[in-house]
Structure 1
C-alpha cells in the first residue's frame, strides 16, 4: 500500500480530472476534499459511496482512499498536519493546544465515506472558506498567511461542531443532560480536576454519590472506563499522525509510561486481522 508523505505542513491544490489514475493509497496528513463539480464514487477503507457537486470529505491520515470518476470532476484538496498550527516566527497566534483537542474530535468521528456536513448553512460557510483559502493560496503562495490560518481555524471549528453533533447522535443517551455530560467530558478529557466526581456533580447538579451510577445508567458504560478509553483513543490517534514517539505521547497525556500506554492500546484497539496480513483488496475491488 502506497503511503504518500509530505514535508509541507500545509498545501492547497485544485485539479479537474476525467479519470482517477492514482491507486488506492494512504498519506501521513489530513486532507479536506471539496467537489466543486462532477460525479463519481469515493472509497475510504472498505466502504464506498457516490459523490456529487458540493460534497466535502475529510480524509484522515493512514486511511485507505481513492475516487472513481464518472463525469469530469474538479477537486479542491487542502492538505495539512499539526505543524501548520504551531507558533512560529511569522505568527502571533499559537493554535497547538486547540489542534491537539481537534485530534480527539477527528479520532472519534466515524470514518465512513460520504459528505461530512449535513447542515445547509454550515455547508455554505465551508464552501466560501474553502474557495477563499484556495484563492489566497494560489495568489500568494504563502501558507503562513495570517488570513489562511484564520480561515482554516474557522473551517475546522465548523467541522468540529458537526462532528460533535454526530457524536451526540451516535451515543445512545436518554436525555439532554447526559448528552451534555458526554460532551463536557470530551472537551475536558485531560483536565483531571474538571473530571473529578465532585466537580461533575457540581457542574450537573447531581449528588457526588450518584454521578457514577447516573453515567452508567444513561450510557451503559462506567464513567472511569469511558474516560480511560477516550484518552487511549486520543493517544492512538496521535501515534498515527503526530510524529511523536509513544514515550512522548504517554508523557504528554498522563500515562505512566510507554509500556502502560501500549497495554491500553492493545486492550482497546486490537490489531485488525486484515491489516496484519496486508489485505487491502476491499478498497480496490469496490471500485
Structure 2
C-alpha cells in the first residue's frame, strides 16, 4: 500500500463567504455541502433550489453547483477524491464509504434537493460534524479511524433519507406500484455487494412475498427479469470502476460477487460487446 496524506483522499473545508467562487477540481468524485449558517440559492443545470442554515446537499462529480449567497454563509464541505477508488490506498472504512456513496449517487429517487428529510437525522449529523471538526483539529491518537467511522455514519444517514418518503407529500394511489418497484431497486442497490442478500428468495423474504410472486411482479412492471436487472447494475458499477479506478478486472470481479475474472469477462462481453480491457482501452483512447 502507498502512503498518502489524509487530505489526498478526503478533504474537509470550512469557510465563510459572501461570494461563492469555489470550483470543482477534476479529481473530486463527489462532495457533501453543509450549510452551517446563512442563506442563498444553488443552481445546477438550470435547476434552482434555496438553501438555509443546517441544510445538507450532495453533489456528484459532474454536478458543479453555482451558488449565490443572500447573506454571508458558512460552508463545510466534505470532498471525496478519485483516490477513494485506488486499490493501492489504505483508508479506514473505505469500502463502506464507496458502498454508501454509490447507493446515494445512483439511487433512482435521487433528486437535486436538500438531502435530509428527517429532523432527528439532521440534528444527529450536525452533532457528528462537531466531533469530526474537533478530532480533525486535535489530531490525537486514532483520530483518522474515529473520523472515518463518523463519516461512514453520516453517509449511512444520508442514504437512509434517500429512501424515506417525504411526509409533506401524499402519494396518489396510482403511484403505489411505482413506489414498490423503487423499494425493490433500493434494496438491490443497497445490498449489491452481498451475494446472499441478492438471492431471489432473500429479496422475496424481505418483502414478505413468495419468490415466484416477486419474479412475476418485477417482470410485469419493468419488462426485465430480476436476475437480469441485478446483473446489469453490477456491470454499470464495473464500468465505473474500470474508468475511474486502478482496480484490476480480477479485483472488480471479486468485489461484485463474480466467480473470477473470466466469469466477469464473459458476462461483460455478452452484454457490452467488448471485454473489460477493450472497454477501458477504448474510453482511454477517446479521451486522448
TM-score > 0.5 by shorter chain = yes
Contact kept? 1:25, 1:66, Cα under 8 Å = no
Q: What's the CA shift string for 1:70-126, capped at 9, x where partnerless?
A: 2111111122347669999998xx524323422431232356433100111111111
Counterparts of 2:248 and 2:85, CA distance in 1:
19
Contact kept? 2:35, 2:56, Cα under 8 Å = yes
| Structure 2: tracts of 5 or more residues without a match | 1-5, 259-263, 275-285
SS at match of 1:174: helix
Instruction: Tell me: CA distance 1:239–1:35, structure 2 relative to 1, closer, same or farther (3 Å).
Output: farther
After alignment, is 236-245 or 79-88 more displaced? 79-88
Tell me the residue number matched to 2:51: 51
How many aligned residue pairs are there?
A: 255
Tell me the residue number matched to 1:118: 117
SS at match of 1:161: helix
| Structure 1: tracts of 5 or more residues without a match | 1-5, 265-275, 277-287
Counterparts of 1:242 and 1:79, CA distance in 2:
17
What value does the CA root-mean-square deviation take over the aligned residues?
4.1
SS at match of 2:177: coil
Which of the pair is proportionally richer in helix?
2
Tell me the residue number matched to 2:151: 152
Alignment of 1:147-226 (within 5 A): 147-165=146-164, 174=177, 181-197=184-200, 200=203, 206-218=209-221, 221-226=224-229
Aligned partner (choices 245, 261, 265) of residue 256 of structure 1: 265
SS at match of 1:54: coil
Contact kept? 1:9, 1:84, Cα under 8 Å = yes
Q: Name the TM-score, length of structure 2 as normaliser.
A: 0.68
Counterparts of 1:112 and 1:244, CA distance in 2:
29
Shift of residue 134 of structure 1?
A: 1.9
Counterparts of 1:143 and 1:232, CA distance in 2:
37
Counterparts of 1:235 and 1:42, CA distance in 2:
32
Alignment of 1:62-141 (within 5 A): 62-81=62-81, 94-109=92-107, 112-140=111-139
Contact kept? 1:104, 1:233, Cα under 8 Å = no
Instruction: Tell me: CA distance 1:249–1:260, structure 2 relative to 1, closer, same or farther (3 Å).
Output: farther
Contact kept? 1:11, 1:143, Cα under 8 Å = no
Instruction: Tell me: CA distance 1:202–1:166, structure 2 relative to 1, closer, same or farther (3 Å).
Output: closer
